[in-house]
Amino acid sequence: QVQLVESGGGLVQPGGSLRLSCVASGSIQSIYRMGWYRQAPGKQRALVATVPSGGNANYADSVKGRFTISRDNAKKTVNLQMNSLTPEDTAVYYCNVIGTLGGMNGVWWGQGTQVTVSS
């Protein structure tokens, strides 16, 4: 199967930084897109940033200029560098991968990692 292992979440003060990482492992054959979504309390899950293979990164307006997504294809890893964090960034962050397994397309999600921005 496919496993998405997330790391880097935690508690940080406003203005601080965190770096999230997600590593895809298992039987996944090809990865088309990797990215991050988040869900704050009482809100719907929303896109944060994605990066397709051979394409440009896509960012939510609320994080442009503050967050940077990067991808290491050899290691099947996607990172999210988060700077200038605010309390509004507090949410559970989910890694998302679209790829192929057993010759079929699939979508996989990480378990989520909590990011809390508070003074």
% the chain with pLDDT above 90:
89
Q: Does the pLDDT value for residue 54 go beyond 90? A: no
Paired with 7 in beta bridges are 21
Residue 85: helix, strand or coil by DSSP? coil
Q: Does the pLDDT value for residue 55 go beyond 90? A: no
Structure tokens at 61: 């307006």
% the chain with pLDDT above 70:
100
CA distances from 84 to 74, 97, 106 (A): 29, 26, 34
